[in-house]
Amino acid sequence: MQVEMFRSVLGKTLGFVGYTVQYGCIAHCAFEYIGEFVVCSGPSMEPTIVNHDIVFCERMTRQLCKIQKGDIIIAKSPFDPNMNICKRVMGLEGDKVCTSSPSDLFKAHTYVPKGQVWLEGDNLRNSNDSRSYGPIPYALIRGRVCLKLWPPHSVGTLSESPTRRIIKTHSDSD
Amino acid sequence: MEAQISRDMIVNHRSPPTSSSLQLRDEKEEEEEEEEVEEEVVVKEVEVEKEVEVETLSYKNRFVRVPVGHFWLEGDHHGHSLDSNSFGPVSVGLLHGRASHIIWPPSRWQRIEPTLPKNRGPLEEKEEEEEG
């Protein structure tokens, strides 16, 4: 009698563990390949994304290498691999980007090297981005922010760059 | 010493390297995602991490200060290696894993030991007067 009870408890426990492992694997694959939820902090992307906003960052675009100019992306910090940064892509490889600030008299430009991207925050005055540490490798990008989920009054897709520093080339489609 | 990993299959430890495990060891072999060609995986020997000076072999500057959170990577076969001498220091976030063993062909089964070639280590602070 006791052996039967023990067997049924063991069977149920193993079944529970099996389901946990299955759902854990599915959840891991979903976060790794489809998308994840990100809580943003910091002022560098105001007014588009403010402190404590929750956004959805999808991974498919980055896996297919289809990140475009003007996309907001989450990337690993080039100086600390355990930290993530959230910025807007202002230039892909080969693009011309403006490295001087809007208040400068003389404008300076550079071209983004192969395999790298130029990032800038929307809040130019309070953003530590490619203007200080240069372009970062494309492979550090984790995903593209496509939806804002919190706070409730600003749920939806995110707006275009308010800084108007994206330099369009002939090959860009309108 | 020619590159010994060219067509070998290796066991790749995928657990993310923590900064504490990398700080103490200067010599480790790491795999990294190449900056220019994303899909290629190369096995290199890591020289330094954190802010240290390195003397380069064929880079545009003779001495390079490797920034925080970056590695200086070199292939064992200097002449035939696309490494930090071409594209500069590499961010730790690009690291894929550590090559620990060669598993194919069976005649080359071995554990890959972390070694730093002679004279390729980071420069000491007292050598600062040699800066060009």
How many structural domains are present in chain B? 1
Residue B101 domain-assigned?
Answer: yes
Q: Which residues of chain A have pLDDT under 70?
A: 171-174
Residue with the two structure tokens 């981005």:
A129
Is the C-alpha dihedral spanning B35, B37, B43, B44 positive or negative?
negative
**Model confidence pLDDT, tens digit, residues A97-137:** 888 877 778 888 899 999 999 999 998 888 899 999 999 99
Nearest to A79 among B38, B68, B95 (CB): B68
Residue B90's domain comprises 44-111
Percentage of the residues of chain B whose pLDDT score is greater than 70? 55
Set A87, A127, A130, A148: catalytic member: A87
Residue B11 domain-assigned?
Answer: no
Q: Name the residue type at position B87.
A: F
Nearest to A137 among B19, B68, B91 (CB): B91
Residue B63 domain-assigned?
Answer: yes
CB contact under 8 A, B69 and A82: no
At A130, which helix (H) or strand (E)?
Answer: helix A130-133
Residue B87 domain-assigned?
Answer: yes
B15 burial type by CB count under 10 A (0-12 exposed, 13-18 middle, 19+ buried): exposed
CB contact under 8 A, A79 and B67: yes
Return phi, psi of residue A159, to 5°.
Answer: -80, 170
**Model confidence pLDDT, tens digit, residues B9-64:** 455 555 444 333 333 233 334 444 434 332 233 444 444 445 677 777 788 888 88
Segments in B15-111 forming alpha helices (H): 19-23, 84-87
d(CA A153, CA B71) in angstroms, rounded, equals 44
Q: Name the residue type at position B34.
A: E
Nearest to A114 among B16, B36, B70 (CB): B36
Confirm whether the ipTM is greater than 0.90.
Answer: no
Q: Write down the domain spans for chain A.
A: 36-168
B66 burial type by CB count under 10 A (0-12 exposed, 13-18 middle, 19+ buried): buried
CATH architecture of the region A36-168? Ribbon (2.10)
Residue B116 domain-assigned?
Answer: no
- The answer to whether residue A12 is catalytic is no
Q: Name the residue type at position A50.
A: V
Q: Among all residues of chain B, which has the CA nearest to that of A78?
A: B91
